[in-house]
A and B are shown apart, each in its own frame.
Chain A
Amino acid sequence: MGMALVDRALRADEYGEQVQGPAQDEEFVLMHCDNVEAAGFVSHLKLPHYVDFQAELELIRTLRRPAEPQAADARPAGADSLEASPLDASPLKASPLKENRA
């Protein structure tokens, strides 16, 4: 996992990413990954994270629920609650997760 993180951090150029943060700067990454301050983060990944992942899983399931094949009037409880919505371009179409807005 540690190697994967460092590898990914050094690939901003390859993926054509706009370099916005220090983690995309090769010089910064290499200078900062090998000292006492950095130690511990990668090994801490051995610690359990299942509660955090459970929370994320529950969120994803909630987001996916409205994607069940229904007419456009199936509005989940937590969705955009504008009454007369002029939003034809609303992202709340059948499958919100398919909209890649990254």
Chain B
Amino acid sequence: MTASPTTFDAPGYNFAYLDEQTKRMIRRALLKAVAIPGYQVPFGGREMPLPYGWGTGGMQLTAAILGTDDVLKVIDQGADDTTNAVSIRRFFARTAGVATTTRTPEATVIQTRHRIPETALSNDQILVFQVPIPEPLRFIEPSESETRTMHALGDYGVMHVKLYEDIATFGHIATAYAYPVSVDGRYVMDPSPIPKFDNPKLDMNPALMLFGAGREKRLYAVPPYTRVESLDFEDHPFAVQAWDEHCAVCGSRDSFLDELIVDDAGGKRFVCSDTDYCTQRLSEQETGR
């Protein structure tokens, strides 16, 4: 479903809510981030009409890059119709008057919370991620000045210490989402809490990927066609989630599936998390293509 652009009806507000100087500042920070893939660039985060934790970082990046001709898609955990996705989409429809869509191939800017769309992206698209904690080393090193030094010196031994510890304790690496990656062989990055299932999509993706953390006031970027590798050991290689089941709606075996409990006996159904992908597959099957 695509909504055509409306005249934006938010008098007293600048296009896309943020003032032009703020957008300039964010764009400059974004350019720096694109020039140094995976490096966290601080930016002057502004107060947004949402509290922290609700996507203010992603929204500021989206606001900074939106133009009148853009088509915006917003998803939350893969779905276009959850409360927050709807709110953010409406926010930009009102403050920027841009066209909005739920169809991945038709969007020019996609703001996402914790999933990468199943449909492959193109070189003309920008994916904006909402990030809670931008620092992948935070869990093991609470000091910000120390983690900055570690990034500067490429001092990442401690990441593998954590993975080693997982294998020693559980027999497997015990990270299921927000799985740390090495970007362009240099910086270690937290790809936001996407399931590790989505990590391979980061590697050599034709789209530009931008990451914004509002509370922490950091942004970072992965330019198109960049090498992104998930951390692992030679004898314990990175592996993604897999399901025995397929999607109950469209039959997909290749997408991330949500598990729904459908009755009191614990009966389960598995459905694609990416609602647009699922809907498209279903309609293709129904029209017999």
Contact = CB atoms under 8 A, between A and B. Distances in A.
Interface of A: 21-22, 37, 39-41, 43-44, 47-52, 54-59, 62-63, 66, 76, 78-81, 91-92, 96-97, 99, 101
Central interface residue in A39, A47, A99, by most chain B CB within 10 Å: A47
B84 interface: yes
A100 to B, nearest CB: 10
B196 interface: yes
Given A43-B53, A58-B243, A96-B171, 8 more contacts: A21-B142, A41-B52, A59-B176, A63-B174, A81-B235, A91-B168, A92-B171, A99-B169
Interface in B164-197: 167-174, 176-177, 193, 195-197
Interface string B35-73: 000000000000000111110000000000000000000
B241 A58 contact: yes
Given A48-B77, A78-B236, A63 B51 contact: no
Given A40-B54, A80-B167, A52 B114 contact: yes
A54 B259 contact: yes
Given A48-B82, A55-B195, A63 B177 contact: no
B176 A56 contact: yes
B235 A66 contact: no
**Most chain B C-beta atoms within 10 Å of own C-beta, residue among A37, A41, A59, A79:** A59
Contacts of A58: 176, 241, 243
Nearest to A77: B239
B22 to A, nearest CB: 18
Contact of A44 (B54, B256, B257): B54
A57 B54 CA distance: 24
A40 B241 contact: no
Contacts of B115: 51
B215 A51 contact: no
A47 B50 CA distance: 13
A63 B169 CA distance: 11
